[in-house]
Structure 1
Amino acid sequence: MTNSIAEIKDAEVIFITGSNTTENHPVIGAQVRQALKKGAKLIVADPREIPLAKDADVYLKIKPGTSIALSNAMIHVILEESLEAKEYIANNTEGFDKLQEVVKKYTPEYAAEICGVDAETIREASRLYASTVKASILYCMGITQHHNGTESVMSLSNLALVTGNLGRESSGVNPLRGQNNVQGACDMGALPNVFTGYQSVTNPDIVAKFEKAWGVKLSDKPGLTIPDAVHGAEHGDVKVLYVFGENPMVSDPDTAHVKKALEKTFLVVQDLFLTETAELADVVFPAAAFAEKDGTFANTERRIQRVRKAINPPGEAKADWEIFTELMNRLGYEANYSSAEDIFNEIRTVTPQYAGITYNRIEKEGIQWPCPTEDHPGTKFLHVGKPARGAGLFVPVEFEESPELSSDEYPLVMTTGRVLYQYHTTTMTAKTDGINQMAPGHYIEMNSKLATAKGIQDGDMVKVTSRRGSITTKAIVTDIVDENVVFIPFHWTEGANVLTNGEVLDKYCKIPGLKVTGVKVEKLA
């Protein structure tokens, strides 16, 4: 997040898109509701009529995958009605002329056809968002998990820049992370093209710095993304997969493809429980839970927080860092860490954003990076004065429909998401009887008109088929989705991700288009 969670409640306008915030991020959802009680205005753009849509001043029930067209149309209206932040654009940005040229054709009427919403509603949203410099954008995987997810984020960045909603309190572009410590994992270089702190593996000076710190020769070539690794495994190019705290047999697209790939490798899984992925493993390392180890997490607002061991791990389970340390030593690399704090102190020496953070400083309260020195208070919000790169870069992007929607055989658009009661692939939550009573398994939400046309009633069992396979699930008839859109939560095995596409990937970061899948639905006898 460019800004902080606590700032949300003081925003004057909140634009939520691609995020079912109250169900997927309840703490942040509570901040949104506090802001509304204080008089904030709310814009929601989502294919489903999520709970916050009922509180929205403007609700846009857009078709899945059309957010770029919506953002471009909002910018079109803002420029057409001279609502842009002219001084901010002149002094703090570059590439504005190119943006103007691209958004010319995205009139509200043009975008309304693409998005499936009313043109005047787009105008209302545009005017409302541009009415203040305390407008906060909140988004999640409904924006990113598309074949053009990176460009969807760029379009939101363009919207913030054109109104000057960056570098100010209660504004910004704020991605809500999908799991605990996703931010921390990325900070630590759990991405194929960077070391810790987003330092590029292709920069010779950076490579030399880490070679000196770690005493080994390092590659200057980016590694594989998860889809690349799975694809490589299926074709025999990847021989070993080490899966750590992840359950791709449920969370990754095209389950049959994932299973085939994992079965062709020597598979190592490090996890708390014997997940669907761990059941396929050649070796399983039992890992300790969060309350069974010391360390730090970095949350969605870039805040580094202490985690303290409360109880001993059961059986042979060990803290992740202990497993990695023992493995490194057995493989011939001498690792002499004696505590999680030792590792954190090494992180500080090679990661500029973390340099000023110590265990003592975060004993009682976490600190937000960047924090370059030990007398620095941390950074509440980013891009103060000027964007961090010197000038905010407008990156004009065009809307492109997902190739998943090119078949008459699969005329419906399936989108996926989460429910309040289950967490990710249910590895932990499904072990609780009370939770399973509230959310026992997957289902399909379908519009009443679609259900009537197919002779389906609420509670009927239906067959849902895509190009990848079929599942059987229970129908929930509801008008929170449009007639040609269906929704299936992804938490359960043999659920939504049996159907999703793992081949069509974002050209920048290789994320799959999980939120748009062409399907057909049939009633079962």
Structure 2
Amino acid sequence: MVSLMINGYECMVQEGTTILEAAQGAGAQIPTLCFLKEINEIGSCRLCVVEAEGEDHLLPACNTIVREGMKIQTESPRVVAARREVLDLLLSNHKRNCFFCSRNGACDLQKWCNYYGVEESRYIGSRKKIERPPKDSHPFLSYHPELCIHCQRCVSTCENATGRHAINLGKTGMFTVIDVPFGDDWKTTLCESCGNCAQACPTGALTEKRTKQYRPWEVRRVRTTCPHCATGCQMDLIVKDNRIVDVEGADGPSNHGLLCVKGRSGSFDFVHSPDRLRYPLIRNRETGQLERATWDEALDLVASRFMEIKKKYGTGSLAGFACSRSPNEDIYMVQKMVRTCFGNNNVDNCARVCHSASVSGLATTLGSGAMTNPIGDITHDVDCILLVGSNPEEAHPVVGMQIREAVQHGTKLIIVDPRKLGLSQYADIHLRIRPGTNIMFANGMMHVMIREGLVDQEFIRERTEGFEELKKIVSDYTPEKVAEVCGIDKDKLIEAARMYASAKKAPIIYCLGVTEHSSGTEGVMAMSNMAMLCGKLGKPGCGVNPLRGQNNVQGACDMGAMPDKYPGYQSVMDAAVRAKFEKAWGVPLNPDTGVFATDVFGAAIRKEIRGLYIYGEDPVVTDADTTHIIKALKSLDFFVLQELFLTETAQYADVILPGMSYAEKEGTFTNTERRVCRVRKAVDLTKDPSFDIRLDTDIIIDLMNRMGYPQKKMTSAQIMDEIASVTPSFAGISHQRLDETPDFLQWPCTGRDHPGTPIMHVGKFSRGLGWLYPTRYTPPAETPDRDYPFCLMTGRILYHYTTRAMTGRTPGLMEIEGSSFIEMNQKDADRMGIADGEKIRVSSRRGSITTSARVGTRVNEGETWMPFHFPDGNANWLTNAALDPKCRIPEYKVCAVRIEKISG
């Protein structure tokens, strides 16, 4: 500790603390303009200067480390005079049009000028000599150089926080200028449109264009959690007159103030979209048209028809899907409704088609099917990152930013993915394996680790079982054999094994490139095996870390929206567990495992499932083999959808119940790192007389009562209390506690005084000993042949989220990326005479679509890749619904297709 005096008061601070940090801790205010902690600490503005006894010069507080015995004055006459001089000089080149500036009232320069009484500059600035036009061609961002004070916050944010390097320092003669990518050529720049630079700007120089719609004193801020991917970014919704007008990043534990373009610009337009569902709809059986209905008419019809089907065809004839974008409390009520009213366990969520392999695989090998370490832990202060089948720059952008930052600070990066990713340019090794060969790759890595003595024998001996059998299996996976099957260089495989195994801190991070295969569960187990062999579990900076896709897909599984698990992954077949829920819910419960979501559609075609309730999912767009999904929905006797919009799936519904968005309700999301994050109500659209919508949990509760179950009405907070009462891993979680805990809580959180569990499996695995599961490589269910010679992979892009129900209603995002495309290798395109941007036909054994060719080198020869977001060419008309035998996940990542030029 270091002792010093600040403004006459003695302070004790940690060695290495800056004067600014010490002063803030002592309650002394020091103004800053350029400073951003750990991002921009260059000390260029000199507004933070302080006086230190014995020093000839004033010291910049932001980057001067305290010394023993220092005596600091933060507001001495000399300091105040210096700060006024700094502000005076800055104003000399600053166009003072505050009345018209969108940052009026939120400008740091304006704030400190007012504070120190600097109204005009005494100097004639050089602004006219370097005057440049604004750059405002970008759909979201604009730059006005006459308001720039050259603090370099934007440059450092883009470089050090997001790792993008899209904003640079330039020169105009003798003057330094900020070169921003918002001109006419913005589409060709490195800019990801995240807007973190604009949030960092202390003046009105760099802004989000929408800030012109409001002034700070006109709005209120509501802290909530981003509704897109499962990173769990904290953000403030900016609300004016019951309308969300902007979003700002907040300092949450997983994002530290950063947001991606979806979070910042795609999280609120859809809330106020003119095509929101505004009242219940019932399909007229005679005309086939959807017609407006009252709530009583709609709910009575839904309850009566479901109960009629149950009575006539038995309890197994009904099924329900929960929404992985909705709060935990909503999901809990959906699964409770299915179990207490339908009388079965036919409840599921979209994790079935994305990360059910993670739930199943990690639960088998470790005892818990969830991410083992926090995001911050696996992207900061780690030696090596093994990134497998994951493109976080686009699917989890804020995680991608943190990985870029980690690499800039010296972290080694190994990428295992068939495609060339944006992160590939930073990678030490990129193993571009053939699609569907993840297990072959992992077993090859383990072969090298064992052969070269790189495994942790003590960890294997004390904490695992199954080593000898696994060792025998992987002995056949020589680097030469693996290289041939995977299509990679054997020496790079060996180097990757050495690099990962020898690193002290090395997390495995993976995503859908591992899970969405007919062998997805074993692919996940192979990731777990690698980590266990090297003793990299239950430790900081290590672990097996699946990045969950949707904002609350982790929570949907946690809440028991699964056919074989109650909330908290408690087995429906365990008599003692079932008895506990029967006592809590007051009804007998079905002991049999229900039907998985991907099997429901086949069961509907066979008339085994006759009634289906879907809350907030759009399987016509998201599920494999669209023709099969549509046939199934048409085969149902009765189909109910609870939604925000008339989606593709809504075209087949008999009743549509309008729900509320995340911004209109209270609740929680559980992000990919098991962190339970608050969601808060920001707007109330029921104040608009054109809306006749209801809270989703109220809809579900009313349906439960109409179907004969006496469910009392509960608030979201009360529902979470019930969740805690029946779910040991959530026992210590409540809305009140989350509101009082800055970093929220990570389950397991087993009591009111339990701090939560950042790192899983410390000292002991949830299942006792970790199981080194004997994984064996099996080829994909469908591979290219003479008729369908190309392999198709699918995935997400940066600018859209799943079905575009939210992001597609933001015009700027559609301007950046608004239509379907397929990536082809340049050599394949040249051979077929296909030009970049040309319309082509893509066909599989299940369907045919038209899309645009995007020609380059991102995919290997013989391979293609498509996003599934766009209705003008949805890849899921082509994909193969071959299911993993363990978790029933479809094989989205490997599908044989044919590509043809369109004549004329």
Q: TM-score range with shorter-chain normalisation?
A: over 0.9
Match of 2:807 among 429, 446, 449: 429
In 1, the alpha carbon distance for the partners of 2:505 and 2:695 equals 42
> 2:874 matched to 1:495?
yes
Q: Is the 8 A contact 2:838 2:852 kept in 1?
A: yes
Q: Give CA-to-partner distance per residue, 1:195-229, whole Å, 9 cap, x none.
A: 00000011111111100100011011111111110
Q: Is the 8 A contact 2:538 2:761 kept in 1?
A: yes
1:389, CA displacement in angstroms? 1.3
> 2:750 matched to 1:372?
yes
Where structure 1 has 5 or more consecutive residues not aligned to the other structure, the ranges are none
Q: Is the 8 A contact 1:133 1:163 kept in 2?
A: no
1:406, CA displacement in angstroms? 6.1
User: Quick one: which amino acid aligns to residue 6 of structure 1?
Assistant: G
In 1, the alpha carbon distance for the partners of 2:784 and 2:409 equals 45
Match of 1:23 among 391, 394, 400: 394
What residue in structure 2 maps to residue 288 of structure 1?
660
What residue in structure 2 maps to residue 159 of structure 1?
530
What residue in structure 1 maps to residue 838 of structure 2?
460
Alignment length, in residue pairs? Answer: 524
What residue in structure 1 maps to residue 783 of structure 2?
405
Match of 1:110 among 481, 495, 499: 481
Q: Give CA-to-partner distance per residue, 1:357-393, whole Å, 9 cap, x none.
A: 1222110431000010111110011000122211110
1:106, CA displacement in angstroms? 0.6
> 2:726 matched to 1:355?
no
In 1, the alpha carbon distance for the partners of 2:505 and 2:693 equals 47
Q: Give CA-to-partner distance per residue, 1:295-331, whole Å, 9 cap, x none.
A: 1111111011111111113412222211111110111
What residue in structure 1 maps to residue 596 of structure 2?
225
In 2, the alpha carbon distance for the partners of 1:11 and 1:505 equals 36
Aligned residues with identical type, % of pairs: 48
> 2:709 matched to 1:338?
no
> What is the SS of the residue equivalent to 1:305?
strand
> What is the SS of the residue equivalent to 2:502?
coil
User: Quick one: which amino acid aligns to residue 446 of structure 2?
Assistant: I
Match of 1:178 among 549, 561, 580: 549
In 2, the alpha carbon distance for the partners of 1:427 and 1:191 equals 24
> What is the SS of the residue equivalent to 1:130?
helix
What residue in structure 2 maps to residue 88 of structure 1?
459
Moved more, 58-67 or 492-501: 492-501
> 2:820 matched to 1:448?
no
Q: Is the 8 A contact 1:130 1:163 kept in 2?
A: yes
User: Quick one: which amino acid aligns to residue 297 of structure 1?
Assistant: F
In 2, the alpha carbon distance for the partners of 1:187 and 1:456 equals 47
In 2, the alpha carbon distance for the partners of 1:15 and 1:370 equals 26
**Larger relative contact order (CA 8 Å, sep ≥ 6):** 1
Match of 1:6 among 376, 398, 419: 376
Q: Is the 8 A contact 2:433 2:488 kept in 1?
A: yes
Question: Which protein is bigger by CA-based radius of gyration?
Answer: 2
In 2, the alpha carbon distance for the partners of 1:490 and 1:219 equals 37
What residue in structure 2 maps to residue 59 of structure 1?
430
> What is the SS of the residue equivalent to 1:509?
coil
User: Quick one: which amino acid aligns to residue 483 of structure 2?
Assistant: A
> 2:647 matched to 1:297?
no
1:480, CA displacement in angstroms? 1.0
> Aligned runs of 1:150-299 on 2, under 5 Å?
150-265=521-636, 266-299=638-671
In 1, the alpha carbon distance for the partners of 2:621 and 2:432 equals 28
In 2, the alpha carbon distance for the partners of 1:89 and 1:337 equals 51
In 2, the alpha carbon distance for the partners of 1:193 and 1:76 equals 35
TM-score, with structure 2 as normaliser: 0.57
What residue in structure 1 maps to residue 194 of structure 2?
none
User: Quick one: which amino acid aligns to residue 440 of structure 1?
Assistant: G
Match of 1:48 among 411, 419, 434: 419
In 2, the alpha carbon distance for the partners of 1:30 and 1:4 equals 15
> 2:509 matched to 1:138?
yes
Where structure 2 has 5 or more consecutive residues not aligned to the other structure, the ranges are 1-370
1:461, CA displacement in angstroms? 1.0
Q: Give CA-to-partner distance per residue, 1:83-139, whole Å, 9 cap, x none.
A: 000111111100000110010111111011111110001011100100123111111
Q: Is the 8 A contact 2:784 2:791 kept in 1?
A: no
TM-score, with structure 1 as normaliser: 0.98
In 2, the alpha carbon distance for the partners of 1:414 and 1:338 equals 47
Q: Is the 8 A contact 2:784 2:897 kept in 1?
A: no
Q: Is the 8 A contact 1:286 1:317 kept in 2?
A: yes
User: Quick one: which amino acid aligns to residue 294 of structure 1?
Assistant: E
Moved more, 131-140 or 92-101: 131-140
1:432, CA displacement in angstroms? 1.4
In 2, the alpha carbon distance for the partners of 1:317 and 1:49 equals 45
Q: Give CA-to-partner distance per residue, 1:416-461, whole Å, 9 cap, x none.
A: 0010001101111111111111111111100011011111111111
> What is the SS of the residue equivalent to 2:624?
coil
In 2, the alpha carbon distance for the partners of 1:133 and 1:347 equals 39
1:161, CA displacement in angstroms? 0.2
CA RMSD of aligned residues (A): 1.0
What residue in structure 2 maps to residue 319 of structure 1?
695
Q: Is the 8 A contact 1:183 1:300 kept in 2?
A: yes
